Structure 1
């Protein structure tokens, strides 16, 4: 009889602990997230031109870091740069796709993005772009959240890795990458030698979430065609720039 009581007591305690742990899980629906964007500049220029890399690496920063903020909820979000990269004095760095402002309307499945490209700024208005996802069983802790790793493909050409958490109930992410059942807190695009990782997640509000209005109005196809024409003779460098401006 004592054994039965002990067994039932152990089962009850185990069940109570499980329920308590579940109840303590925080599910956020309004957040403000700081993202650190890191460009491995040495890796980038070495990939594009190994000979030029050897001649210029001592005059170029090894990596370049900038910061962005994502603020939003399950219905809409805004993503924009908060701190430009600091380049050491005397060093040369060619920035690309640095100052985009991206507004997503998740209910309407639309995006409005202000995207500076060379000397011109475009205001892209279109549906949220589709990403082909392949889920994995790998996980990683990012900014205190357990995140699942997935592999993504954009336009069947640009491949990347993303890490999302379903503890944040927003189908958003850095730049224009969305579409997972939770918030993307980590993104890595090997072809661009660039990563975006959340460094801080706070409970946010839905204030000041308004779409950008600066730039020449366009849709995704016209925007892509325009950039493609500008860089048609740039070879590998052109392909990199097109991928960067479409992310």
Structure 2
């Protein structure tokens, strides 16, 4: 009996560390996201930020033609050092296409993050121009909380953040995927962000599926872009010269935040 007890304790003592040692922490795969933009609320904010009464009424006149919200499909391919966040093209209603063409809602941003080098690239069209950003990763000041929720089958912890000095964000990350990144330009938490809300920009992004199949070669390549690469400040300054006279400064800043984040 004593022999059996000793063997049992010895087995548990050896097995437990081995089990912990070989716990699987995925560092490669693909995450499907849904980005919900609350279009009417966003347009109301644009109206509030309009430079004059005529611009405000022009924005608010669109409300009756718009849906309350629209859900865009997104995809993130990731390794332990890189993340490529892409727009999944679909067919859109006429009103949603109009908002995309106007730049009121984003129209297919591609964002690449190199976590080792702390660099990012993003590609999008705005103001009739093809834009390529090449800059440092976006800095977010995070404060981790003790709130949890389940997203796409993963236990996620809440963090509140501040980005671009004044934009408040809420993220839910999982340390079961130990890659410090997330959708769009977001990063900097001790795990992958599977849920994100940006109240000022009236959108949220939540993962719907995580596929841990190894990536094919070239899956994280943003591709060759004809546009000249610029920093976020250079893009801001160039578009500011073209658009701020038409939009006004507050509305222009809101547009740029939507494309940077």
TM-score normalized by the length of structure 1: 0.82
Matches within 5 A, 1:1-247: 26-49=24-47, 52=57, 55-84=61-90, 86-87=92-93, 93-95=98-100, 96-207=105-216, 208-214=219-225, 215-233=227-245, 234-235=247-248, 236-247=250-261
Structure 1 stretches of 5 or more lacking a match? 1-14
Aligned to 2:4: none
Distance 1:147 1:62, change over 3 A: same
Question: Any idea what the Cα deviations from partners look like across 1:65-89, whole Å, max 9, x if unmatched?
Answer: 11011011111121111133632x6
Structure 2 stretches of 5 or more lacking a match? 1-12, 49-55
Are the aligned partners of 2:127 and 2:243 in contact in 1 as well (CA < 8 Å)? no
Q: State the 1:193 CA deviation.
A: 0.8
How many residue pairs match? The answer is 234
SS where residue 244 of structure 2 aligns?
coil
TM-score normalized by the length of structure 2: 0.78
Distance 1:97 1:56, change over 3 A: closer
